[in-house]
Amino acid sequence: MYKKEISKAVINRLPRYYRYLGDLLEKDVVRISSKELSEKMKVTASQIRQDLNNFGGFGQQGYGYNVEYLHSEIGKILGLEKKYNIIIIGAGNLGQALANYVDFERRGFVVRALFDINPELVGTKIRNAEVRPTEELESYIKSNQVDIAAITVPKTKAVQLAMDLVSWGIKGIWNFAPTDLNLPKEVTVENVHLAESLMKLSYRLSSKQKQEKSKITKEGPGEAIKKEDKEDKESKS
């Protein structure tokens, strides 16, 4: 559809544009200038224009953006104009949490079934989706339209499971297991690793703390000692 290869950074920003525009739509906002959108999203106006120019613009000089149109166009770019059938393999803590989250469905991602090896879970229902035995996984995939398979099994089982899923025809994998899946390139894999996000947070926290410390040191040892004493007293009180 678009001749130019779109950079990953732009693709990564699109869901955020989509979310902001969705919020504006809910508030019945009809149009927005790139300046207003940039202030809301804390992205420069030129960044927004550049990003959207990748897809042919959508803005009009002196008018800004029509919120509904832009929301729907970005939705199309993200492939959100269709419904996606999802199955979840591994109906433990995470698998159940995903199946319980109603908002995915609102965006067109419908959890149709879960699969697990644990007989105690088999036959239970999470919202509208039933937990089925893994023995039925292959026949389910072959006889139903499954667009995305979410992997929420232990890491040690994930690689083999992913290969089986692909051999049965799965083309989209939402991988939560903390392991890399090396799959053929016609298979699209999206990895979600909350632990990596936490590590980024811890990096940012600790670098801020280091900056604070070096600021204190520059102010001189006397000031630093006074500040430490004060913090010590406060933490004890």
Burial of residue 225 (CB within 10 Å: 0-12, 13-18, 19+) is exposed
* Residue 11 within binding range of ligand NAI, rule CB under 6 A: no
Q: Which stretch binds ligand NAI (CB under 6 A): 31-39, 49-57, 186-194, 227-235?
A: 186-194
Q: Is residue 111 at the binding interface for ligand NAI, with CB under 6 A as the rule?
A: no
Q: Does the footprint of ligand NAI cover residue 53 (CB under 6 A)?
A: no
Neighbour-count burial for 27-62, b at 16+ CB within 10 Å, e otherwise? eeeebbebeebbeebebeeeebbebbebbeeebeee
* Under rule CB under 6 A, residue 163 binds ligand NAI: no
Contact of 74 with 14, CB cutoff 8 Å: yes
CB of 192 to ligand NAI, least distance (A): 5
> Which of 24, 37, 87, 90: binder of ligand NAI (CB under 6 A)?
90
Which span sits near ligand NAI by CB under 6 A: 50-58, 102-110, 151-159, 164-172? Answer: 151-159
Distance CA 37, CA 20 (A): 9
Q: How far is the CB of 144 from ligand NAI (least distance, A)?
A: 17
The site for ligand NAI, by CB under 6 A, has a size of 26
Instruction: Give the residue, chosen from 74, 116, 148, 183, that forms a contact with ligand NAI under the rule CB under 6 A.
Output: 116
Tokens of 117: 């090896």
Instruction: Label residue 200 exposed, middle or buried (CB < 10 Å: 0-12, 13-18, 19+).
Output: exposed
Instruction: Say if CB 191 and CB 173 are below 8 A apart.
Output: no
* Site residues (vs ligand NAI, CB under 6 A): 89-95, 115-118, 121, 134, 152-155, 157, 161, 176-178, 192-195
